[in-house]
Amino acid sequence: MSSLRYLRTFLAVAQEGSLAAAAPRVALTQAAVSLQMRALEAELRRELFDRSGRVLTLNAAGRALLPKAQQLVALHDELRGGALLADPLTGAYRIGAVVSAMSSLAHAVVALKHRHGQLDVKVISDRSGPLAALVEAGQLDAAVLVKSAARLPSSLAWTPLYQEPLIVLAHPEVRARTAVKALIGQPFLRFDRNERTGALVAKALKQLDVVVSEFLELNSIEALAELVRQRVGVSLLPRLRRATWEQDPALRVLPLPGLSLQRELGLLHRREATGPLIDAIAQEFVSR
């Protein structure tokens, strides 16, 4: 339904005469409004605005589109309103998730689709940063991602889902009695410092006052776990919610009882239109 979102934004820009004035009407930033209008023009293969002056005005193609856009948006609202009377969970949505949460999200979506036959959900996977940008731009309805320390834009909301404690992952041949001793005595496999999880790992190492022997840096938790299985080194990682590391004979999970840091995952979503779906997904995560 991305085209309908773009048409709603198009109508706001046409009425307000500027990207800045249209942005609060559709709960987006000015940059996101501009991105959506460029995407709409690319999809329709024609420019819709005269951008030569200070005021953004419709060109001939934009004026021709205006009544059709109004009709399409009104018809969609009418149809969706009728469907919502019968089932609040209906329509098409786009939801993102980081790789480590994709399995949990997929299970939640499958369960919801069994109960709500008119629900259509497309799921995509990416890193937390790009997913957050897509939600802010209105190209995703929501995304399951790692919480950021940065303040949320006013157009977005955060629904917490679950937390994952940080642990040290080692091969059983590593005989160190504690997680800290395992970190000091082995080659360190680090999660990418440019990612939110990597920043959390770096903060944990600082709190533990541990200097590690850097060996390799990757942006995949499962890839790091596989390297640990192969005796390449040890890693400090979030204990994934659906992982079975404790049952893996090639892995040893060492807790960090003195460390209060945890990785928080939740649903980042736009404030205005996805309440029933957000609530339903959150309930599915809690029940599993």
Domain boundaries, the chain: 2-84, 88-162+264-287, 163-263
Assigned superfamily of 88-162+264-287: Periplasmic binding protein-like II (3.40.190.10)
Distance CA 159, CA 229 (A): 35
DSSP per position, 77-141:
HHHHHHHHHH-SS-EEEEEEE-HHHHHHHHHHHHHHHHH-TTEEEEEEE--HHHHHHHHHTTS-S
Distance of CA 206 to the CA centre of its chain: 27
Per-residue pLDDT, 1: 47
- Asked whether 55 and 18 are in contact (CB, 8 A), the reply is yes
Q: Is the pTM of this model over 0.85?
A: no
Interval 237-278: pLDDT, tens: 999 988 899 999 999 999 998 888 999 999 999 876 556 788
- Fold (CATH) for 163-263: D-Maltodextrin-Binding Protein; domain 2 (3.40.190)
Q: Which of 279, 271, 158, 256 is nearest to 208 (CA)?
A: 256
Interval 162-198: pLDDT, tens: 999 999 999 999 999 999 999 998 999 999 999 999 9
Kindly state the average pLDDT of the residues 132-155: 89
Q: Could you give the C-alpha distances from 150 to 26, 88, 131, 147, 283, in angstroms and in order?
A: 22, 32, 15, 9, 26
Interval 207-244: pLDDT, tens: 999 999 999 999 999 999 999 999 999 999 999 988 89
* Tokens encoding 130: 């790009």
- Fold (CATH) for 2-84: Arc Repressor Mutant, subunit A (1.10.10)
Interval 11-58: pLDDT, tens: 888 887 888 888 877 777 888 888 888 888 988 888 998 877 667 788
